Structure 1
Amino acid sequence: MNISQNGLNLIETFEGYRELAYYDTAGVLTIGYGHTNNTASASQYPVYEGETMTRDLANKILLTDVSNYVTDVNNAVTVQINQNQFDALVSFTYNLGVGTLYSSDLLTYVNEGNFGAAAQQFLLYVHSNGRVLPGLVNRRTQERALFLSDSNTSSYTPSTPNSSVNNGLINYSGVFIPNQTLQVSADTDPNSPAIATYDAGEQIPYDSYTLVNGYAWISYIGQSGQRRYVAVGPDDGSSSTTWGTGFFN
């Protein structure tokens, strides 16, 4: 398979064209449409401080870089997927790298044919240097939407990004069922005292989550009207390591 114009539109929308080289949120020197010295074409088009790049050259490099990720996704996926699913996976890999794709539960679920579970995995990859970034939330939300959209849709235009982050929380609801006793806290500090506990097997309805301080936290408004937090596992991008079920499982 090859990426469609829809997929290129998505990548261009979120990478954005930058004429002058800059350091991204992870401290990586970047130019054009997210081009870095970590990409396959870096030997031909190295990035250096103070560099400027025309839009025409940026578009040329984008197509070169994308072609490598197209190959990576084709090699990684072992089941039949549609064009929109393929485009979403290429965008994900372009942003995070092939190593992240290969080691992800997202790829595992795709190759199992469990596309519903795979779609939810996009929403886990929204942090950089331990912080949830609204821009990544927006991108993952759009990639998930493309992954789930009708493959017969003739065109797909990413909507104008609207942050779904509210005070560091990402809007996502569910019911978590722990497999061990979990503590309830007033904040996301792992050292905060427990306000209450949930025992194994109890249901914990939640309306949002966040990834911070090394943990994945679900959150809800308690009976007191105050927001409460429960750490449900390590912040490692994998739902298989959570202490129960119901968090992107």
Structure 2
Amino acid sequence: MSLKQRLMALGLASAVALAGANLIAPAEAPNGEPILHTYLDPVDIITACFGHTGPELERNQFFSEQQCIEMFAKDLGKADRQLRRLTYPVQLTEGEHAAYLSLIYNFGSGTFQTSTLRKLLLRGERVAACHQLTQACGKYGCNGFVYANGVKLPGLITRRAKEQSICLKDLYVE
């Protein structure tokens, strides 16, 4: 059964959340397969499965693939609710939704809530908002979306570029 089918079986039915899952899973785990044990992420946060973090995690814990899928579904649902709350009343395109869901999943809703990206989005400057995903500093200010503990990480640069591409795909009319 595919990741998408397994998430749907757990009640994650939103098509845009599933599109976000397809963007998030490979960024959080090699080949989109869950990491079945806890590990330290690049900023020394105990993490497991598909980038799951939380106070319940301890070093040297192990999980089944099913447990990881369940955590992923729960984390995606939470991030999706946060995204919808923080972007209301804007009707996001599927690409914007997937990209911003991935960002919130990775950085948290607090970072998104105070970001220049969100301010631009709520002002209707949607293309400029998408460009914030990869713009560390520029005319709209600075964001830390490619930094972890002050260090620019290649993995985050790649992830933000993919998010930006998906974010912009429905905004340009030919």
Equivalent residue for 2:80, pick from 54, 70, 87: 70
Task: Tell me the equivalent position of 1:238.
Answer: none
Equivalent residue for 1:118, pick from 129, 135, 138: 129
Q: Structure 2: any 5+ residue segments left out of the alignment?
A: 1-12, 137-144
In 1, the alpha carbon distance for the partners of 2:38 and 2:17 equals 27
Task: Tell me the equivalent position of 2:44.
Answer: 27
> How far is the alpha carbon of 1:107 from its aligned partner?
0.6
Task: Tell me the equivalent position of 1:172.
Answer: none
Residue 147 (1) aligns with residue 157 (2): no
Equivalent residue for 2:59, pick from 41, 46, 49: 49
Q: How does 1:131-210 map to 2 (within 5 A)?
A: 131-150=151-170
What is the percentage of aligned positions where both structures have the same residue? 27
Q: Structure 1: any 5+ residue segments left out of the alignment?
A: 152-249
Task: Report the 3-state secondary structure (helix = DSSP H, G, I; strand = E; otherwise coil) of the residue aligned with 2:63.
Answer: coil
Q: TM-score, normalised by structure 2?
A: 0.78
> How far is the alpha carbon of 1:150 from its aligned partner?
3.1
Flag as ranges the 4+ runs of structure 1 deviating above 4 A: none
Tell me which protein shows more helix as a share of its residues. 2
> How far is the alpha carbon of 1:80 from its aligned partner?
1.7
In 2, the alpha carbon distance for the partners of 1:81 and 1:93 equals 15
Equivalent residue for 1:12, pick from 25, 39, 58: 25
Q: CA RMSD in A?
A: 1.6
Q: TM-score, normalised by structure 1?
A: 0.55
Structure with greater Cα Rg: 1
Q: Comparing both chains, which one has the higher relative contact order based on Cα–Cα distances under 8 Å and sequence gaps of 6 or more?
A: 2
In 1, the alpha carbon distance for the partners of 2:50 and 2:63 equals 10
**Equivalent residues of 2:17, 2:80 under 8 A apart:** no
Encode CA deviations 1:69-99: one digit per residue, 9 max, x unaligned.
1111111113122112111111100000010
Matched pairs, number: 144
**Equivalent residues of 2:146, 2:153 under 8 A apart:** yes
Task: Report the 3-state secondary structure (helix = DSSP H, G, I; strand = E; otherwise coil) of the residue aligned with 1:30.
Answer: strand
In 2, the alpha carbon distance for the partners of 1:111 and 1:96 equals 19
Tell me which protein shows more strand as a share of its residues. 1
Letter in 2 for 1:136: L
In 2, the alpha carbon distance for the partners of 1:4 and 1:65 equals 11
Letter in 2 for 1:147: C
